[in-house]
Structure 1
Amino acid sequence: MAQRDEYNARHLSVLEGLEAVRKRPGMYIGSTDSRGLMHCLWEIIDNSVDEALAGYASRIDITLHPDDSVEVADDGRGIPVDIEPRTGLSGLEVVFTKLHAGGKFGGGSYNAVGGLHGVGASVVNALSARLDAQVTRGGKVHQLSFRRGEPGTFSGKGPDTDFTAAEAGSPLQVVGKAKRGVTGTRIRYWADRHIFTPEARFDDTELANRARQTAFLVPGLRITIRDERGSEPAEEVFQYDGGISEFVEHLSPDTAVTDIWRIQGHGSFTERIPVIGEDGRSQMEDVQRDCEVDIALRWGIGYDTTVRSFVNIIATPKGGTHLAGFEQALLKTFRNVVEAHARRLKAGNDKLEKDDVLAGLTAVVTVRIAEPQFEGQTKEILGTPAARQIVSKVVAKELEARLTSSKRAEKQEATALLEKVVAEMKSRISARMHKETQRRKSALENSTMPAKLVECRAKEVESSELFIVEGDSALGTAKLARSSDYQALLPIRGKILNVQKASVSDMLSNTECAALIQVIGAGTGRSFDLEAARYGKVVLMTDADVDGAHIRTLLLTLFFRYMRPMIEAGRVFAAVPPLHRVEVIHPGRKANEVRYTYSEAELNKLLRSLEAEGLKYMEPIQRYKGLGEMDADQLSETTMDPQHRSLRRIRVEDAEAAERVFDLLMGSVVAPRKDFIIEGARALDRDMIDA
């Protein structure tokens, strides 16, 4: 009998070819849910994009078919179909069956590309129940099909038809002729549902966003997405000849302080890399590299910063050396120009910081480098050291020329921008002084909390709740309705400042905003410390009417803009007070029953239910216009008591979409908001208006 801890060579598994991909798909595509399914699609699309980057393709057509397959076609050069000498297989078969095989390993076919590892097409093939590759090249249309990575032929359409594996030799077929000069590649595949989870689906919204981004980054490239899965086919076309300038315009919804500035330049550097010689040995050699820099940027009147960075159209959401060089040059150049004009700008002796310069900035930073170095497998951070110095040098030179230009239009823009940056610096200093003043007060006084705060006795943050109450009348009732052990109250008077349109200093000088920030006690903006927050929950308790909804929106704007970690942690809630109180009459000695409803639909449903049961109710039905109309018992039972109340948790699942909505509803630009209101008015039922 063998011992249980026996371990020798026969216990080792050797996975050949694409078998490793099917055995451990997570190593190659991250997961087998919708994200992994989309990752496979990006791999195929990126191969076509690389053809466009190299200047050989001008269009990419993506089709989502109703049979769960997807097709990607381009008009590039077409994957090579001649015989690859080492393997004796056609180039097409090599690309789709061999890991780490492709034209992006320094063979001269590509310079700056998105694909670097040569595993994309072969991994997608391995994870597909069927893949059809069709290449138009040399006046012929070549075709090759695969089942789970194995080449062969299918008897019909779809992955479930009979399959015959290819015999020895290349199974490449010629299935048609093409006009002279016409080239391209068409890939259609069915993802293997034995690999992917049943709920994995192609996300058309994510696909459209990625296609739009790619079209911005490759000027002139036409990307068409056709979705045939619904009852009616839908088609979107993305093409932007203006490139990243149009990208910046798309990303920046606020009013402009400057036009879109384009900064372009290049530099070269020497990189020491291993090169494999003809004898198969690797030796280190110095290689001359070029780095092309292309940046579009624009400042607006807002205070948020949106910077997207890319390397060869690969998004680098966590930045890297190119972004570090960009920010370094921005700060250094602005500091030099402000110091040179300190008297005119009334800047004093204070120094600019990075946040002052970045406020209101929208920028797209792109660099093109052959064989870039990334930190980690995800390509989220550029690691090529030389990129920092090259980007910094290009930005500093071009930006200084803009800021010191003597041309009338450019001079006006530069002056407006410098004044904005200096104003940001003064607001930051003002906010810091305000915070320091509050700290000094805390050291000298027992309590610096606003007099109107009704504090609770609980010392544990997790169990405490802060109710922000609309008006003094609701406060009086809420005092009686609350549990003083763990529920604190802070009344606000009317509608607070709209902080989306106001500066930091205006926000801090507003009594209601300053009181709320002081009571929560965790600071604001980038210095917000979630662990310092004094309450586990913050509940916005406003009336169930239009004014209450507006006040709630203003409060959420304050939290989203300056205390966002509270929302991200799920610690901000909206109370749900009832709209109606229905007293059901019970015959005999049984006491009448009170039921609450929270919408007109819910009220109508309740009344129909009572009628069906033969029960009567007191008329008129009480309709609450505000929290002040409830007595303490009613408010406690419906809105404040954890055993009976309903709360809506405020969440930010998509920060970018939330940013657009807040800017639309609360921002400085009126026209889009007017269009939104007019469009929404068409769907409004006049009978629902409580006049």
Structure 2
Amino acid sequence: MSKTQYSESSITVLKGLDPVKERPGMYTRTDSPTHICQEVIDNAADEALGGFATEIKVEIHDDGSLSVKDNGRGIPVGLHPTEGLPVVELVFTQLHAGGKFDKKSGGGAYAFSGGLHGVGVSVTNALSSRLEVTVKREGQIHRIVFSDGHVIEPLAQIGKCAVRDSGTEVRVWPNGKYFESPNYSITELERLLRAKAVLLPGVEVSLTRTPKGQTEPQTQTWHYPNGLKSYLSDLISEAQEAVPVFASENYIPAGHDGDFTVGEGAAFALTWLEEGSCASESYVNLIPTPLGGTHEAGLKQAVFQAVSNFINHHNLLPRGVKVQSDDVFGKVAFVLSARVLDPQFQGQTKDKLTNRDALKLVAAVSGDPLELWLNQNVEAGKKIAELAIKQAQARMRSVKKIEKKKGSGVAVLPGKLTDCESEDIRENELFLVEGDSAGGSAKLARDKATQAILPLRGKVLNSFEVHADQLFGNAEIHDISVAIGVDPHGVNDNPDLSGLRYGKIAILSDADVDGSHIQVLLLTLFYRHFPKLVSDGHIYVAQPPLFRVDVNAQGKNKPARKFYALDQNELDGILERLNKEGLSENKYSISRFKGLGEMNPDQLKDTTMHPDTRRLLQVRIPEDAGDETQSIFVKLMGKGEAANRRAWMEREGDTAEVDI
């Protein structure tokens, strides 16, 4: 291993623009030269922001260079009072030299600007093989030329112009060795220039270039007389708006006492979307901030506060729901243009604003106008509140989402499930049995080859209005889902039925009112959360008998007999037949099953479980009865339908045939 010398001479001091050339990634994006050209465009935009320029012209030339021309004041060409060099030369050759410092005292050239470090165009110069600056100022035209950051043609007057004709033109030849691709991002340039036109009312912005495959240059021009509102409408043209676009522009007025400076503030346009991705763009002093920052946080805070006040004022919040900031802002599409006296960015690329005061500033100037608009447009406000509340409910469900219990990567079958030997769903069956005692009888009565038993304790949850994410909070529903091997799904979903473990799923409950109630609760579960099983014919209802008739033996030729009756009607039919046979009442006895648990295994097998002797009804919904079925379920199982249920029972109660 060689020994490396480390002494005083080992320390290298990079001077001038050498730090930029050594580590360009610290100062700009190196995927393409687009960003170093954006620095020049931003300088022209700062002139327009200050009210000194009315046009910005960008042109991509056939030799790969790019020029930016404005009709602002023109960069000063005189000697700097302390540095002794022309100011235009200092701006392009010295890091941290510019006219955007000393804003509060008024000694700087700009009150509001995107530039703040004095680094931008000097980086452009350092990473360009050639850079030309032409300045029109005070009736004279000056030019200076650089190469790799060094002056190769000193500042010189090359002509005269009208005194009122002023401005700056910078032409850049990016040095390809610093960039992964020599090509400009046309999409990014177009977006940037379009945004400058939007954010600078009255300023015309253009891009001239020769499209690929053509010989003549073409010019695109951007001019937005309606500013942010029309720009946001363009951004979300393919999305569905929930409410009309709202736009506002508010800056701190003269004579204001407070923490902010006159002229600071924000302009914004926003709306809420029903569908589609939420377009959002933010700017600080016309500089795009794709990563957002404190100004976006200020707008978010203002929107949340305004909507929260509206919801509370109109008493729209359901019990148990708490709306958070992201619930309100999640569906917002917006364009925000903040004006901050002394912006602080994260990194030289200025992708994110970090001023803490910017949050307070934007929140302060945006909240009142938005709240006023909401209260003047109550229907729009209620629509926004509805969207926010839906988002809050979805968030609360997702936080409480209950997953299947898993072990070793697969769903764990319920411990109380008595499974069958067959895995062929063409023949195997699952009986959902009411109660543990009935479950015990069913286990002894079953055909263990093809019949499985899952006993249920008590009544299953009414799942009609329970969201799918919350279903597994109920142990019985969790066990049913795991046992059958299918996850809950909606009517329009495409569930995976490859894990279905049983071809028939039979509901087996007592033949009384409570049993009917459990049956309805289970049917509600399958109808609402497992509709594919219903439509594919996998759900059945077993019908155990309610009565047993024991007929005494009538001599040697007529042994004792047993009859089972499903309900009172069947019992009456059996008794009528016995009477026709001439049997008196003392020749037979009638017993009523209080529940499945009273049946011994043989009785349960013969009456309810054996395929040859049982009654098993398949659950189906007729094709033309979908709406009617839905309305019946809503009336019977909906939480808010108590009044309708009562009216229905009062109207139809005398027609019910129930054994109580």
**Structure 2 CA distance for aligned equivalents of residues 57 and 269 of structure 1:** 31
Alignment partner of 1:212 out of 152, 176, 194: 194
- Verify: 1:148 aligned to 2:148, yes or no: yes
Deviations 1:618-654 (CA, angstroms, capped at 9, x unpaired): xxxxxxxxxxxxxxxxxxxxxxxxxxxxxxxxxxxxx
**Structure 1 contact 73–185 (Cα < 8 Å) conserved:** yes
**Structure 1 CA distance for aligned equivalents of residues 533 and 41 of structure 2:** 50
**Structure 1 contact 60–73 (Cα < 8 Å) conserved:** yes
Alignment of 1:244-263 (within 5 A): 244-253=228-237, 254-263=239-248
Alignment partner of 1:298 out of 271, 277, 280: 271
How far is 1:422 from its partner?
Answer: 4.2
**Structure 1 CA distance for aligned equivalents of residues 263 and 201 of structure 2:** 21
**Structure 2 contact 484–500 (Cα < 8 Å) conserved:** no
**Structure 2 CA distance for aligned equivalents of residues 354 and 318 of structure 1:** 18
- Structure-2 change in CA distance of 1:437 and 1:15 (3 Å): closer
**Structure 1 contact 64–229 (Cα < 8 Å) conserved:** no
- Structure-2 change in CA distance of 1:379 and 1:124 (3 Å): closer
**Structure 1 CA distance for aligned equivalents of residues 467 and 203 of structure 2:** 52
**Structure 1 contact 310–316 (Cα < 8 Å) conserved:** yes
How far is 1:241 from its partner?
Answer: 2.0
**Structure 2 CA distance for aligned equivalents of residues 194 and 379 of structure 1:** 23
**Structure 1 CA distance for aligned equivalents of residues 532 and 337 of structure 2:** 39
Deviations 1:381-429 (CA, angstroms, capped at 9, x unpaired): 3222222233223333222222223xxxx34433443444445555656
**Structure 2 contact 54–204 (Cα < 8 Å) conserved:** yes
**Structure 1 contact 61–72 (Cα < 8 Å) conserved:** yes
AA of the residue aligned to 1:82: G
**Structure 2 CA distance for aligned equivalents of residues 377 and 489 of structure 1:** 58
- Structure-2 change in CA distance of 1:126 and 1:229 (3 Å): farther
How far is 1:511 from its partner?
Answer: 6.8
**Structure 2 CA distance for aligned equivalents of residues 514 and 218 of structure 1:** 61
Alignment partner of 1:439 out of 467, 472, 478: 472
- Verify: 1:379 aligned to 2:345, yes or no: no
**Structure 1 contact 289–370 (Cα < 8 Å) conserved:** no
**Structure 2 CA distance for aligned equivalents of residues 72 and 369 of structure 1:** 25
How far is 1:142 from its partner?
Answer: 0.9
Alignment of 1:448-463 (within 5 A): 448=481
- Structure-2 change in CA distance of 1:149 and 1:489 (3 Å): farther
**Structure 1 CA distance for aligned equivalents of residues 125 and 133 of structure 2:** 10
Alignment of 1:563-642 (within 5 A): none
AA of the residue aligned to 2:179: F
Alignment of 1:253-402 (within 5 A): 253=237, 254-267=239-252, 291-302=264-275, 304-342=277-315, 345=316, 347-348=318-319, 350-402=321-373
Deviations 1:165-193 (CA, angstroms, capped at 9, x unpaired): xxxxxx32222221230111111121223
Corresponding residue for residue 7 of structure 1: 6
- Structure-2 change in CA distance of 1:443 and 1:145 (3 Å): farther
Corresponding residue for residue 78 of structure 1: 74
Q: Secondary structure at the match of 1:118?
A: coil
- Verify: 1:180 aligned to 2:163, yes or no: yes
**Structure 1 contact 302–359 (Cα < 8 Å) conserved:** no
How far is 1:143 from its partner?
Answer: 0.9
How far is 1:301 from its partner?
Answer: 2.9
- Structure-2 change in CA distance of 1:196 and 1:338 (3 Å): closer
AA of the residue aligned to 2:12: S
Corresponding residue for residue 445 of structure 2: none
**Structure 2 contact 50–111 (Cα < 8 Å) conserved:** yes
Question: Unmatched 5+ residue regions in structure 2?
Answer: 401-465, 488-492, 502-526, 535-660
**Structure 2 CA distance for aligned equivalents of residues 364 and 514 of structure 1:** 48
Deviations 1:215-268 (CA, angstroms, capped at 9, x unpaired): 222222211111136433232111112221122212223343332222333457
Corresponding residue for residue 137 of structure 1: 137
Corresponding residue for residue 583 of structure 2: none
How far is 1:323 from its partner?
Answer: 2.3
- Structure-2 change in CA distance of 1:221 and 1:403 (3 Å): same
Q: Secondary structure at the match of 1:60?
A: strand
Deviations 1:192-232 (CA, angstroms, capped at 9, x unpaired): 234334x4211212211221122222222211111136433
Question: Unmatched 5+ residue regions in structure 1?
Answer: 154-170, 272-286, 455-469, 480-487, 491-507, 516-691
Q: Secondary structure at the match of 1:29?
A: coil
How far is 1:446 from its partner?
Answer: 5.0
Alignment partner of 2:54 out of 52, 58, 63: 58
Aligned-residue identity in percent = 33
AA of the residue aligned to 2:117: H
AA of the residue aligned to 1:109: A
Q: Secondary structure at the match of 1:89?
A: coil
Structure 1 runs (4+) greater than 6 angstroms displaced: 268-271, 508-515
**Structure 2 CA distance for aligned equivalents of residues 434 and 120 of structure 1:** 54
How far is 1:80 from its partner?
Answer: 0.6
Deviations 1:514-534 (CA, angstroms, capped at 9, x unpaired): 99xxxxxxxxxxxxxxxxxxx
Corresponding residue for residue 90 of structure 1: 86
**Structure 1 CA distance for aligned equivalents of residues 134 and 48 of structure 2:** 18
AA of the residue aligned to 1:241: P
Alignment of 1:465-484 (within 5 A): none
**Structure 1 CA distance for aligned equivalents of residues 60 and 396 of structure 2:** 54
How far is 1:12 from its partner?
Answer: 1.6
**Structure 2 CA distance for aligned equivalents of residues 509 and 81 of structure 1:** 78
- Structure-2 change in CA distance of 1:136 and 1:414 (3 Å): same
Corresponding residue for residue 15 of structure 2: 16
Q: Which structure has the larger Rg over C-alpha atoms? A: 2
**TM-score, structure 2 normalization:** 0.58
**Structure 1 contact 261–296 (Cα < 8 Å) conserved:** yes
**Structure 2 CA distance for aligned equivalents of residues 182 and 315 of structure 1:** 30
**Structure 1 CA distance for aligned equivalents of residues 532 and 277 of structure 2:** 19
**Structure 1 contact 256–300 (Cα < 8 Å) conserved:** yes
How far is 1:509 from its partner?
Answer: 7.4
**Structure 1 contact 441–448 (Cα < 8 Å) conserved:** no
**Structure 1 CA distance for aligned equivalents of residues 234 and 100 of structure 2:** 32
**Structure 1 contact 217–244 (Cα < 8 Å) conserved:** yes
Deviations 1:336-370 (CA, angstroms, capped at 9, x unpaired): 2222222xx47445332334322432122222111
Moved more, 357-366 or 59-68: 357-366
Corresponding residue for residue 589 of structure 2: none
Deviations 1:90-119 (CA, angstroms, capped at 9, x unpaired): 111111111111111123310111111112
Alignment partner of 2:381 out of 407, 414, 421: 414
Alignment of 1:93-242 (within 5 A): 93-106=89-102, 107-153=107-153, 171-197=154-180, 199-228=181-210, 230=212, 231-232=214-215, 233-242=217-226
AA of the residue aligned to 2:174: A
**Structure 2 CA distance for aligned equivalents of residues 257 and 143 of structure 1:** 54
**Structure 1 CA distance for aligned equivalents of residues 211 and 385 of structure 2:** 52
**Structure 2 CA distance for aligned equivalents of residues 370 and 151 of structure 1:** 33
How far is 1:49 from its partner?
Answer: 0.9
How far is 1:46 from its partner?
Answer: 0.8
- Structure-2 change in CA distance of 1:25 and 1:425 (3 Å): closer
- Structure-2 change in CA distance of 1:123 and 1:442 (3 Å): farther
- Structure-2 change in CA distance of 1:305 and 1:24 (3 Å): closer
> What is the aligned residue count?
428
Corresponding residue for residue 403 of structure 1: 374
**Structure 1 contact 309–317 (Cα < 8 Å) conserved:** yes
- Structure-2 change in CA distance of 1:399 and 1:514 (3 Å): farther
**Structure 1 contact 303–360 (Cα < 8 Å) conserved:** no
**Structure 2 contact 251–262 (Cα < 8 Å) conserved:** no
RMSD value over aligned CA atoms? Answer: 3.6
**Structure 1 CA distance for aligned equivalents of residues 319 and 494 of structure 2:** 43
**Structure 1 contact 298–362 (Cα < 8 Å) conserved:** yes
